[in-house]
Structure 1
Amino acid sequence: MQRRSITLAALATLTLPAAFAQAQPPAKQRPIRRPEARPAFFYGDHPAAMAFADDLATRRQLDPAWVRAQIGQAQRLEAAIRGVTPPPRGVPKNWAAYRARFIEPTRIAAGQRFWQDNRETLARAEAEFGVPASLIVGVIGVETLYGRHTGTHKVLDAITTLAFDFPASHPRAAARTAFFRDELEQLLSLCQRNGTDPHSLLGSFAGAMGLPQFMPSSWARYAIDFDADGKVDLFDSPADVIGSVANYFKAFGWQSGMPTHFPVRFDPATLDLDTLLAPDILPSFGVADFQAKGAVLEGAALQHTGKFALVELENAGAPSSYVAGTENFYVVTRYNWSSYYALAVIELGEAVKRSLTPP
């Protein structure tokens, strides 16, 4: 349907119903107020950022003028500050709603295409690293919908902002500031080695890059040239992405053949929920100890020789969901320190795998 515009002159000729016109007070001209744009702030005007640049150049033996120029030209990114600011207290977590964002037809269909297009590479990664193809596919799907949403923010702006203007209201502000300063160091060192313009890289509001959303430190430590073309490319090489995700999990202790979690129910007569939840997602209980505290396991879970964690997933006022997480579940949370994220990755990968096999 074609939209028609009405000019101010034409608008003046329109006639209102008499009753409406009589009921209205005389019109008053009011000035149009537009929000004032916040002036851009560049970190060349930030003394701590420039001191950091000089120290970084000395420690990494980089050209001081180049380091100062890169950091100095970085612009404060308000979206990064908003993105890491904690939500208001009392906002309930909702596993069912979180899950529905990722385990849905569009993402499953895209995952199916990605798996089919990269079947041989996924099989090679699974054989070499012992990490299931479904888990690799699940990560890439949750992170970027298989490359559709890799981020539009300048990575250098995002990381520099969080390195020097991380919101003080955050309960771990000091630790996160240190983390992002290390990421800034890793980013500039990586770009200098590869001859990449730091200002050309786009990613998330927190500076994560490419299909797997690797931070610079993860790129430096775990990204690999899985297509053997002489370079590591997590933006345009699905093979490098697949191999790098598998290598990441292997480096964090993935154990081939171990399930990530098992179903669990409770015995009300012996349940000690506070003790079971105290270690959070860190596996801390053997089978006997787990069951002695009221967590009931069945089937293959009873043969597990490692430790369990009772993983709680809240449902916004409805009863929480629970699983018995193994050491491999904990490994998945090293990609993103959230049990909600880990289970979404696992379940998306499993849903995509099922979609490849006709019923």
Structure 2
Amino acid sequence: MRRLISPALATAVCLTVASLILPAAAAPKAKAHAKPAAAEKQSTAVRGGPTYATRDDAMQFADEVAARRKLDPEWVRATIGGARMLTNVPRLMLPAPKGTPKNWHAYRARFIDPVRIAAGVRFWRNNAETLARAENEFGVPAEIIVGIIGVETIYGRNMGSFRVIDALSTLSFDFPQAHPRAAERQAFFREELESFLSTESRTHEDPMRPLGSYAGAMGMPQFMPSSLAKYAVDYDGDGRIDLVNNTVDVIGSVANYFKAFGWKRGMPSTFPVQFDEARLQKATLLAPDIVPTFGADSFVAAGAVLDAQAASFKGLLALIELQNGGDAPTYVAGTQNFYVITRYNWSSYYAMSVLDLGREVKAAMEQ
């Protein structure tokens, strides 16, 4: 997806998300849509301003979606019209002020701790057979899948308490214009809202019930609606996709996502790297950001020092810089598989947290 969004900062109210339990095949068209429930009957997790029923831009968008997707116009209008503007969400989307120092060590500490590691061990033990199956079929190691689910929701403990319809509508119609990429990000959330409405219409569930993060990400793996539609799989073959309660479907869906974005079986995600300061062309190595660009030979020619395994690596590499506030940055050489992890969340800090959590859980398992 995209882009996927960062781990939910929502409060830890883990409720069943009815419409994340999807039929594996399209539902019968003869079944009537579930009517959106009245706003006053919704979860107490909903906090916000007025509904979008009186907003001309929201109702115009509803009509456009209905026409594009061939949905019931009244149902789409009622659904968007019943969404509430979440007054605290727009500010959560603003980037940190310029000059705010990044700190990899502090970031890492948020996700690699005894509680999350212990929960990861339990998750791995309880789902060892499915994780092994997914690794065999998709080529994605168990520790990567375990790392993702642990960073995102602590294995289902923190799946978010915002109504998805409220979050997506707020970011579609009231995205903060102070954001440097406001137009692009608002367009993205409108696409996600449209995808959510399309799925809700197909499954005939109440669109007011699903809960997720403040950005509309859902379930244990925090899939955005478009990712849910494209990559979620019925991995246990029971005829439905459940990313809230069914860890088999969750594991299969995460593995399928990574495979779809180009995960390479058996390829390391990172290699250690040091520098020959006399030859170092750090600006050249950092210019492509995290996109793998350099062969091992050109990487070394620009002043990087690699171990034997990395030096013989046949794929492309990127220099990954993780800043540590006022201390010296941390550097690794990232491969295509490191880049794939950032397709889940566009952050090298996030990707390193996933890798480190998976490694820590695996080490604890082996002990």
Residue of structure 2 aligned with 1:286, choices 282, 295, 307: 295
Q: What's the TM-score once normalised by structure 2's chain length?
A: 0.86
Q: Is the 8 A contact 1:212 1:245 kept in 2?
A: yes
Q: Distance in 1 between matches of 2:325 and 2:205?
A: 45
Number of residues paired by the alignment?
Answer: 321
Q: Who is 2:174 aligned against?
A: 165
Q: Is the 8 A contact 2:290 2:318 kept in 1?
A: yes
Q: Who is 2:238 aligned against?
A: 229
**CA deviation profile, 1:137-183 (whole Å, cap 9, x unmatched):** 00000000000000000011000110111111111111111100000
Q: What's the TM-score once normalised by structure 1's chain length?
A: 0.88
Name the % identity: 61
Q: Who is 2:4 aligned against?
A: none
**CA deviation profile, 1:202-228 (whole Å, cap 9, x unmatched):** 000000000000000000000000011
Q: Is the 8 A contact 2:49 2:86 kept in 1?
A: no
**CA deviation profile, 1:52-87 (whole Å, cap 9, x unmatched):** 100110111110000000000100012321210122
Q: Distance in 2 between matches of 1:39 and 1:157?
A: 8
> Per-residue deviation at 1:39?
7.7
Q: Is the 8 A contact 2:59 2:77 kept in 1?
A: yes
Q: Who is 1:264 aligned against?
A: 273
**Tell me, what secondary structure is at the counterpart of 1:356?**
helix
CA-based RMSD of the aligned residues comes to 1.0
Matches within 5 A, 1:1-359: 40-358=49-367
Corresponding letter in the other structure for 1:352: V
Q: Distance in 1 between matches of 2:364 and 2:172?
A: 42
Structure 1 residue runs without a partner (length 5+) = 1-37
User: Larger RCO: Structure 1 or Structure 2 (Cα < 8 Å, ≥ 6 residues apart)?
Assistant: 2
> Per-residue deviation at 1:89?
1.6
> Per-residue deviation at 1:262?
0.3
Larger Rg: 1
**Tell me, what secondary structure is at the counterpart of 2:259?**
helix
**Tell me, what secondary structure is at the counterpart of 1:310?**
strand
Q: Is the 8 A contact 1:79 1:205 kept in 2?
A: no
- Larger deviation, residues 130-139 vs 168-177: 168-177
Q: Distance in 2 between matches of 1:274 and 1:252?
A: 28
Q: Is the 8 A contact 2:175 2:186 kept in 1?
A: yes
Corresponding letter in the other structure for 1:269: A
Q: Distance in 2 between matches of 1:277 and 1:74?
A: 43
The structure carrying a bigger helix percent of its residues is 1
**Tell me, what secondary structure is at the counterpart of 1:71?**
helix
Structure 1 stretches of 4+ moved >3 Å: none
Corresponding letter in the other structure for 2:235: F
Structure 2 residue runs without a partner (length 5+) = 1-46
> Per-residue deviation at 1:259?
0.2
